[in-house]
Amino acid sequence: MNRSFDILGRSPGIQRLRELAQKVASTDVTVLITGETGSGKEVLARFIHEHSRRASKSFIPVNCGAIPSGILESELFGHEKGAFTGAIQARKGYFESADKGTIFLDEIGETPLETQVKLLRVIETGEFQRVGASETIATDTRIVAATNRNLHQAVAEGNFREDLYYRMHSVELQIPPLRERGGDILLLAEHFIHGFERKHGIAFEGFSPEATELLLRYPWPGNVRELRNLVESLLILERGKEVTPDILERHLVQRSRHKSLVHDPAKAENNELSLIYGSLIQLRQEMAEIRQMLQQLLLSNRLQSPPLLLPEPQAPPAESTPPPADIAKAAEPTLPLEEIERRSIAATLQKFGGNKRKTAQALDINERTLYRKIKEFGL
């Protein structure tokens, strides 16, 4: 069997799915695969085909959402010469080409209603007619379909036939989103890293422990595809160097921004989610920067005028005041490190009326170190 059609994953959800897929593979039952975008619907469909008695025959994927509705029917069932303008010769459709094999109807929810009637017939009787033909052709094709749309809702809205919906639902395999199979994230990342290292000839130094944590916490709105693409762009753009949380966050933010520019109604919800997560990550970065600036500012105030923590009132700016300098730069202490330490301890001691426990807590050092420093600096 071609190993690239394996469904990788050790999480209980994927293990159960693999077992179910193996069971249904040995039958000819129509299978509907559901799951969010990028979760591996096509991978699962190929896995079913590869584990069936049809493995040596064709597997034909058809994206029902990408083929214009006027053409889809003749693509699926073929047409006779002269069936419509431009049909200069007869042509076989996918159901004839896939005979004895498997046809994968991706995005089945996008199929126009007229074509749905013909699909129902071929599922029920194994027969169909080419467009413009009167004779019936028998086919022995296994149908696996997939959707990331809520078909039940499509039925309620009158966009999907109820009878076809029930036929499709005889066996439904639901792929859990990647965020619900935490155990698989690192396994998949490693798998993709090895593949891309070989493909691009770049050695990857790996993720830092903090970046690994972030990989596990991130909700992956684009699922396995997002992880795969992220790993590839990290490897290429960062030339394989160790990935820190900063690098990882930067790439996640950029990807979410890029995705939000591509408008695809079927994926709009996931893109929106991705954009929100991207913004949250960015917000977190900005807050960390502000916190750092404030800390520097407070420290410098504490050093320059102990124990006053607030800036002294300033004279009103002259008319030709230059633009304010970068706060962080202006606050940069120019004193020797030891002197900074001494002044900082003195100021904090004064602030807490000589209370050593509170001073040690405020400076985030232990009390014993504080006693040693007091002695050392003769405070």
Ligand X SMILES: Nc1ncnc2c1ncn2[C@@H]1O[C@H](COP(=O)(O)OP(=O)(O)OP(=O)(O)O)[C@@H](O)[C@H]1O
Interface with Mg ion (CB under 5 A): 41-42
C-beta separation of 66 from 107 below 8 A: yes
Which of residues 17, 25, 30, 38 is near ligand X by CB under 6 A? 38
Smallest distance, Å, CB 34 to ligand X? Answer: 9
- Which stretches does DSSP call E strand in the chain? 31-34, 59-63, 102-106, 127-128, 137-138, 142-147, 171-174
C-beta separation of 244 from 208 below 8 A: yes
User: 211: helix, coil or strand?
Assistant: helix
Nearer to ligand X, 23 or 357 (CB): 23
C-beta separation of 208 from 171 below 8 A: no
Stretch binding ligand X (CB under 6 A), from 41-49, 50-58, 85-93, 271-279: 41-49
Nearer to Mg ion, 41 or 79 (CB): 41
Which of residues 42, 73, 75, 249 is near ligand X by CB under 6 A? 42
Stretch binding ligand X (CB under 6 A), from 6-14, 128-136, 244-252, 302-310: 6-14
Q: Which of residues 201-220 bind ligand X (CB under 6 A)?
A: none
Helix axis angle, 356-363 to 367-377, nearest 10° = 100
Residue linked to tokens 């014993």: 368
8 part of the interface to ligand X, by CB under 6 A: yes
39 part of the interface to ligand X, by CB under 6 A: yes
- The span from the CA of 35 to the CA of 41, in Å, is 7
Smallest distance, Å, CB 24 to ligand X? Answer: 17
What are the CA-CA distances from residue 316 to residues 190, 308, 310, 319 (Å)?
A: 60, 21, 17, 9
Q: Which of residues 286-305 bind ligand X (CB under 6 A)?
A: none
Smallest distance, Å, CB 286 to ligand X? Answer: 32
Nearer to Mg ion, 42 or 50 (CB): 42
37 part of the interface to ligand X, by CB under 6 A: yes
Q: Which does 141 bind (CB under 5 to 8 A by kind): ligand X, Mg ion, none?
A: none
Q: Which does 228 bind (CB under 5 to 8 A by kind): ligand X, Mg ion, none?
A: ligand X
Question: Cβ of 191: how many Cβ atoms within 10 Å?
Answer: 18
187 part of the interface to ligand X, by CB under 6 A: no
Smallest distance, Å, CB 264 to ligand X? Answer: 9
Which of residues 91, 167, 225, 255 is near ligand X by CB under 6 A? 225
Which of residues 11, 13, 28, 43 is near ligand X by CB under 6 A? 43
CA 262 to chain CA mean position, Å: 15
Which of residues 224, 231, 235, 281 is near ligand X by CB under 6 A? 224
Smallest distance, Å, CB 155 to Mg ion? Answer: 21
Q: Nearest residue by C-beta to Mg ion?
A: 42
Stretch binding ligand X (CB under 6 A), from 224-232, 256-264, 277-285, 347-355: 224-232
Which helix H or strand E contains 165, and what residues bound it? helix 162-168
Burial of 56 (0-12, 13-18, 19+ CB in 10 A): exposed
Smallest distance, Å, CB 186 to ligand X? Answer: 13
40 part of the interface to ligand X, by CB under 6 A: yes
Nearer to ligand X, 144 or 224 (CB): 224
34 part of the interface to ligand X, by CB under 6 A: no
79 part of the interface to ligand X, by CB under 6 A: no
Q: Which does 225 bind (CB under 5 to 8 A by kind): Mg ion, ligand X, none?
A: ligand X
Q: Which of residues 137-176 bind ligand X (CB under 6 A)?
A: 148
- The span from the CA of 135 to the CA of 180, in Å, is 49
Q: Which residues bind ligand X (CB under 6 A)?
A: 7-9, 35, 37-43, 148, 224-225, 228
